[in-house]
Amino acid sequence: MSPIELLTVVSTVAALIAIAIGVMFPAIAMGRAISQALDALARQPEAEKSIMRTLFIGLAMIESLAIYVLVIALIVLFRNPLIEYVLN
């Protein structure tokens, strides 16, 4: 296999594995956060406003982890900086 083919195969597989793992763990974390928030909401419905606000901010923080993985996967797929080394 020529180096450029190898790079294509490896970067595709790496991007797929990265996005699979990188989505799995934030999903678990988001599930836990939401279940805890619902717990707190059931116990103290009058605190709904602040619970929802904190939940949204926390979800955004967790979600940004998955977005980082997505951005890295996109860089690997479309703008791979290593491709210059292979071509030279």
Inter-axis angle of helices 3-43 and 48-78, nearest 10:
180
Q: Rule CB under 8 A: which of 10-39 touch another protein?
A: none
Round to whole Å and give the CA distance between 76 and 83: 10
- Residue 58 vs 86, nearer CB to another protein: 58
**Cβ-contact 54, 44 below 8 angstroms:** no
Taking CA atoms, 1 is separated from 7, 17, 70, in Å, by 10, 22, 28
Which of 78, 84, 87, 88 is close enough to bind another protein by CB under 8 A? 78
Q: Which of 63, 80, 83, 86 binds another protein (CB under 8 A)?
A: 63
| Rounded (10°) CA dihedral 52, 54, 58, 61 | 110
Identity of the residue, 32 or 53, whose beta carbon is nearer to another protein in the bound complex: 53
Closest to another protein by CB, 56 vs 85, is 56
Give contact residues for another protein (rule: CB under 8 A).
49-50, 53, 56-57, 60-61, 63-64, 67-68, 70-71, 74-75, 78-79
